[in-house]
Every structure is written in structure tokens, then in C-alpha cells.
Amino acid sequence: MGDLWHVLRGRGDGVRIGLVAVLLTDGTMRKLRRVLDHRRTPRRLDLGRRTTPHAWPSGVHDSLAGAALLLAVALFSASALAAISRSDPPTQAPGRILKPVSAFADINNDRRRSVALFEEMGKVIQSPRCLNCHPRTDRPTQGDAMTPHLPIVTRGVGGLGAAAMHCTVCHRAANFDPAGVPGNPRWSLAPVEFAWQGKTLGQICRQVKDQKRNGGRDLPALIRHMGQDDLVGWAWRPGRGRTAAPGTQAEFGALVQAWADSGAHCPVGR
Ligand code: HEC
Ligand code: HEC
């Protein structure tokens, strides 16, 4: 812990207060409650006598969670630290650009052009910025190395996170750069039917087109979603220390449109 503060102070512009990366599981909460209950009602220790556990007024649980979160302000995950020291702004190396639609114009065969366009789209779709929120499990991943999300959070109802660990407890309406916490008003986990991690581009392509597995979107809706949706757009404005998805969202949207116009074909056998 001492080392951690040392590193943080060493950053030059004062101690950075980061948002909580806490390993605050329900178990910890229960332990915390037990300790406090114990302090408040020592009679519970009387032999053979058990008082009913303290009834916690509503709100106490929430404020407790809040206090515990604040207490844990210093508990950065190693990756949060790494995020802070990563270079800024994101680099636009060659692998980070998207070919324009015109680069595919000389492929006469519609099917081949369509597949080539989808492969170009794949640079975005399979970038860590998208995959981190489209995991196969109930836990998001983070960073370019796509390591499991710290603290442990789970899908909860509707991908919004379990009660005490609701995504928006930490992920606010906008990126919070001092602590490297990404944000968007609709921050949540993509439903499990939309899982992309561990799948081939061909599998993702067939899934993205399948209205049973894409939230009932027809092609025009899919084009709009990819090209204009603000949560998808976060991938190009990921905040300090994170690599943006390749190209721009508008360029990506144009590729999606051209892919749809050429028959929305998918890479086969891949
Ligand atoms: C207790 C705080 C907390 C909660 C709750 C939380 N997160 Fe995070 N999350 C963070 C922090 C801090 C980071 C930045 C970690 C880093 O990059 O080092 C992060 C990063 C992420 C990233 C990585 C973005 C990227 O591309 O690098 C994703 C994805 C993510 N969170 C999704 C979620 C989802 C979905 C939920 C709810 C189910 C959630 N988080 C709940 C604190 C939280
Ligand atoms: C913060 C988490 C998050 C990030 C980052 C994210 N998504 Fe999603 N995505 C979701 C959620 C939640 C849904 C389901 C809600 C909906 O359908 O609007 C979804 C649904 C989708 C869908 C429709 C379902 C499907 O699988 O066809 C597409 C397409 C999609 N996202 C594309 C992307 C792309 C492309 C990126 C990166 C450029 C991206 N997403 C980044 C959370 C995220």
C-alpha cells in the first residue's frame, strides 16, 4: 500500500484520487455488517441468547456501500495504475487506420467485396474497446490485454451489474480521466447472446446479422447502431490512456453501409 501511494505521489501533479477499484463483494459487505452489528449489539454474544439481528434502516446498506467504496479509493488495480501511466493521446499507428470504402471498389465480385469490407470492419469489431463489453462470461474484461475486470463485477439484471456493484456506481456519464474510468450514460454489459469474445470473425458476422441474436435489428438499424450509436461511439473516445478503435466511427459506419449494400456476406469457414 505504501508503495502504491509512493507511485501515485510520484506522478508529479499531486496525489491522484482515483475512483475505486475495490474487491467489494457481497461477502465483504456481509462481513462488514457483521462487524458493525457485533459492535452495536454486544448482547448477541450472551450464551444461549440470540437477539434478532439488527434491522438495518433502508439506505444504511447503500450508504455503507458508498462509504466502503470511498474508503477503498486507494485500492487501485494494477491495471488502473498502468492505464494512468500509459501514453496519451492514443497513437494512430498504421494498424489503427481504416481503409476507405473506395479502396474496395475494384473488387468486382459482390460477395468477395462484401467479405473484404466485413474483414475491414473486423479491425473495429475485434478491437479490445468493443470486445471488453461483449464477453462470453458474466464478467467484462478491461484494457488492451483484455484481462478480467477488476473489481469483480457481474452481469446482474439486464447487464447493468449486480445491486451493490451497479456499473454506474463507478462508470459515470462521461470518462473520468483522473482515475482512468471510462464512462457513458448507458454503460452496461452487452447481453450474452451478443458475446463476441473467443469467436471468429465469420461467427461474429453471422451473429450480428441474425435478428434473434442482435436485438431484433434489421440491416438499416444495424448500420445506424454501428455508425451512430453513442455507446458504440465511446470506442473512439475512450479517455486518457486507452487506445481508440481504428479509424473514426463515421468511416466505420460507411464500411458497414457498403458491406450491407454489397449483400452483407460473411467470411466463410473463419
Ligand atoms: C467498483 C467500480 C466499478 C464497477 C462497479 C464497474 N466497473 Fe468497469 N471499470 C472500473 C475501473 C476502475 C475501470 C478501469 C480499469 C482500467 O482500465 O485499468 C473499469 C473498466 C471497465 C472496462 C474496460 C474498458 C476498456 O476497454 O478498457 C469495461 C468494459 C468495464 N469496466 C465494464 C463494466 C461493466 C459492464 C460494469 C457493470 C456490470 C462495470 N464495469 C462495473 C470500475 C468499475
Ligand atoms: C460499455 C459497453 C459496450 C461497449 C464498449 C460496446 N458495446 Fe456494443 N453493446 C453493448 C450493450 C449493452 C448492447 C446491448 C444494447 C443494445 O442492443 O443497444 C450492445 C449491442 C451491440 C450491438 C447489437 C447486438 C449485436 O451483437 O449485433 C452491436 C452491433 C454492437 N453492440 C456493436 C459494438 C461495437 C462495434 C463496439 C465497439 C466499437 C461496441 N459495441 C462497444 C455494450 C457495449
Is pLDDT of 53 > 70? no
From CA 256, how far away is CA 117, in angstroms rounded? 8
Q: Does residue 236 surpass a pLDDT of 50?
A: yes
Least confident of 46-50, 56-60, 184-188, 251-255: 46-50
Cα–Cα distance for residue pair 121/89, rounded to 1 Å: 23
**218: pLDDT strictly greater than 90:** yes
Q: Taking 80 as the threshold, does the pLDDT of residue 27 lie above it?
A: no
pLDDT band at 135 (very low <50, low <70, confident <90, very high): very high
Can you tell me the distance from the alpha carbon of 131 to that of 154, in angstroms, rounded to the nearest whole number?
Answer: 16
CB of 151 closer than 6 angstroms to any ligand 1 atom: yes
Mean pLDDT of 233-245: 96
Q: Which of 4-8, 139-143, 159-163, 172-176 has the lowest mean pLDDT?
A: 4-8
What's the pTM?
0.76
Task: Kindly tell me if the per-residue pLDDT of 207 is higher than 80.
Answer: yes
The residue to mutate among 153, 188, 194, 206, having the most atoms of ligand 2 within 8 angstroms of its beta carbon, is: 194
pLDDT for 49 equals 39
Identify the CA nearest to 247 among candidates 84, 85, 88, 90: 90
Name residues contacting ligand 2 (CB within 6 A): 124-125, 129-130, 133-134, 159, 187-191, 194, 208, 214-215, 225-226, 231-232, 234-235, 245
